[in-house]
Structure 1
Amino acid sequence: MSRPRTVLVAAGLAVSLLVSGCSALEKTLDGGSVAGDFPSRNVEIMVPAAPGGGWDLTARQFQHVVQEKKLLGERAVSVVNVTGAGGAVGISKLVTKNRKDPHTLMITGLVMVGALTLNQSQITVSDTTPIATLTAEQEVLVVKSDSPLKSLKDLVEMYEADPSKVSWGGGTIGGTDHITAGTLVKAAGADPSKVKYISYSGGGEATAAILSGDVTVGISGLSEFEEQITAGKMRVLATSGTEPATLNGKQLPTMKSEGYDAEVQNWRAIVAPPDVPAADRQRLIDFVTKVNQSPEWAEIRKKNGWTDFFKTGDDATRFIAEETTRVQALEKELGIL
């Protein structure tokens, strides 16, 4: 009678090992790694836009700090650009193709919230796993240096006289730049729905359009136009924050200081795919926190005029959800949704 018992015990052990092995295999195959072992391979940061814009700059500066400080040990971090539909192509890939994988991250922000809302996308930033908000940046309204527009008041008066003669160049339709244009026009008492807005897929394209005169006024983050402003090729009409920004020792006017009750801040964040295991999520938060606390990242913020806007985990998740609701209401009010 002892022999059947031995066979039964052996069979039970085999089943137990098989179940355990399948569970481990599922974790490995469905997320590219066993839960809780981040980083077990190289990390990829997706930029859901063309090179040259604010997301791209944020990702590559982040990559620089990680590599400089060896925050992933011997693991490498790469940056990949995925363009299309104001970030919709990139976030769709993150959500549907990289589920559970903590080694694929994405830079996002207010621009994407606005674009996805406008396009009534079935996928939103809230479908990701927010790791942290990183920075906030004022928008800046610029014209080429030989433009007849000398002040923000000149721009508003031109728009009030004939909206069709004012073209506004910036990022995605419904994004931060577009929202800034509409917010200013609304604050001036004019009709935001008549804003003639031209969207460019990257900061490089927008810069070229402003300098060539293809658009009347350009809108983006200060860091994206800083080189051209410093070189005297662009003139600042106003920034969009509460406090005035300083460039080359000169204080720049804000929309409010120019007499218009308007304010917009462009925030950026880093997110992971949905369903990242809790242990990996915490490791990602710890990893991003180390970047944020480094002197190198502080210097990058200062250089680019970025405000420290660090929120992690549940705080970041709540903030992004609230921003999504706010932008939906704002875009309806501005007549662009």
Structure 2
Amino acid sequence: MLKRLTMAGVLTLALGAGAVSAEPAKVMIPANPGGGWDGAGRHTMAAFAQSKVFTDGASFTNKGGAAGTIGLAEFVRTAKGDDNALLVTGVIMVGGVITNKTPVSLADTTPLLRLTNEYNAIAVPANSPIKTPQDFVAALKADPGALSVGGGSAGGADHVMLALLAKHAGAPVAKINFVSFSGGEILAALGGGKIKAAISGASEFRQFAESGRIRIIAVSGPTRVDGINAPTLKEAGIPVEIGNWRGFVGAPGMSDAAKKTWLDRFAKLHATPAWKETLKSQGWEDAYLPGDAFNAFLKEENANWTSALKEVGILK
């Protein structure tokens, strides 16, 4: 579980003095407290404070559901023209917009940057008979409906990863039993045995695994994750690799001057020891991609995820 700065849905974090801006940042987190988006928003703003790059504070609003698209819609509706409003976004939101066919999308915001990437992990309860990636695939093949697997919202990276694993196993994707959670509830469900397995960001499982409440059996990256004693899926002969990037967008109608200011702040943050320590402590990969390059990346991601969701049968 990520170490949270607060469990409150809306809370102001005092980040110290030293004005760079006249107002605190207003950060919309499109998920409940405790998950990957929550950690991305709060840890990033904490790193701003620690590095003294931005010291005017931040308020956080958590609004979860529908792969982040409920928070996205609220942000687009309420933050228009606000130069201090930021939204945490990521690949799950890209998939959610496509899957849910929402009337709003990231094209309605002011894209700023991709900041981190994190590879997924598969975890099971500590007493589970599933001990290896091969065991997991065998269970999917034997009876995909009987293997309840928790993850984030439908159409997100967790859901697509399970669908890809089912395809590898030769199991019908339409019969997989994917249970959607928002925020940190997945950890309680997995630790309590309410689901048989879970797929989420590796950092979200690390603390529970270290305490012995769950067991991580695989990670989805090209190499093993430091501090997690689990093989990659590719090591186990399973050709599935999938990551979960996160970043920030600004409000609709954010001024050009404010966009430049925020991009300058993030560029300075990216070079600080405080940010490098944040990446290390959270197990995040540096995926810094700002400005126009990020905007182009979003368009490419939209096309790629539309194809991927169709390929695995999630999008008809």
Task: List, as ranges, runs of 4+ consecutive aligned residues in structure 1 with deviation greater than 3 Å.
Answer: none
Match of 2:306 among 325, 328, 336: 328
The SS at the match of 1:99 is coil
Aligned: 1:287 with 2:289: no
1:116 aligns with 2:97: yes
Give the one of 309, 314, 323 matched to 2:287: 309
Count of paired positions: 296
Confirm or deny that 1:237 pairs with 2:221.
no
Amino acid at match of 2:203: S
Q: Is 1:86 paired with 2:72?
A: no
Name the structure 1 match of 2:179: 198
1:318 aligns with 2:296: yes
- Tell me the TM-score normalized by structure 1: 0.84
Paired position in structure 1 for 2:140: 159
Shift in Å at residue 278 of structure 1? 1.6
Once residues 95 and 58 of structure 2 are traced to their aligned partners in structure 1, the CA distance between those partners, rounded to angstroms, is 28
Deviation, structure 1 residue 177 = 1.0
Contact 1:143–1:218 (Cα < 8 Å) also in 2: yes
| Aligned 8 A contact 1:168 1:219 in 2 | yes
Once the two structures are TM-superposed, the CA of residue 121 in structure 1 deviates from its matched residue by: 0.8
Q: Deviations over 1:189-215 (max 9, x none)?
A: 332222110011112x10111111111
1:212 has 2:195 as partner:
no
1:32-81: CA deviation from partner (whole Å, max 9, x where unpaired): xxxxxx833221111011000001011111121122233234x2222221
Select between 135-144 and 212-221 the one with higher mean Cα deviation: 212-221
Give the one of 83, 101, 106 matched to 1:125.
106
Secondary structure at the aligned position of 2:212 is classed as coil
Counterparts of 1:146 and 1:56, CA distance in 2: 29
In 2, the alpha carbon distance for the partners of 1:160 and 1:98 equals 46
SS for the counterpart of 1:220 is strand
Q: Quick check: which one's helix share is greater?
A: 1
Residue 237 (structure 2) aligns with: 259
Deviation, structure 1 residue 85? 2.4
Aligned to 1:67: 49
Partner of 2:88: 107
Match of 2:207 in 1: 227
| SS of alignment partner, residue 146 of structure 1 | coil
**1:105, CA displacement in angstroms?**
0.2
Instruction: Report the 3-state secondary structure (helix = DSSP H, G, I; strand = E; otherwise coil) of the residue aligned with 1:247.
Output: coil
Segments of 5+ residues of structure 2 without an aligned counterpart are: 1-19
Is 214-223 or 272-281 further displaced after alignment? 272-281
Structure 1 runs not aligned, ≥5 long: 1-37
* Alpha carbons 1:63, 1:79 under 8 Å: kept: no
How big is each residue's C-alpha offset from its partner over 1:147-187, in whole Å with a ceiling of 9 and x where there is no partner?
Answer: 01111111111111111111110111111111111122223
Pair member with larger Rg: 1
Give the AA of the match of 1:213. Answer: G
Given that 2:67 and 2:155 are in contact with CA atoms closer than 8 Å, whether structure 1 keeps it comes out as no
Q: Distance in 2 between matches of 1:139 and 1:72?
A: 30
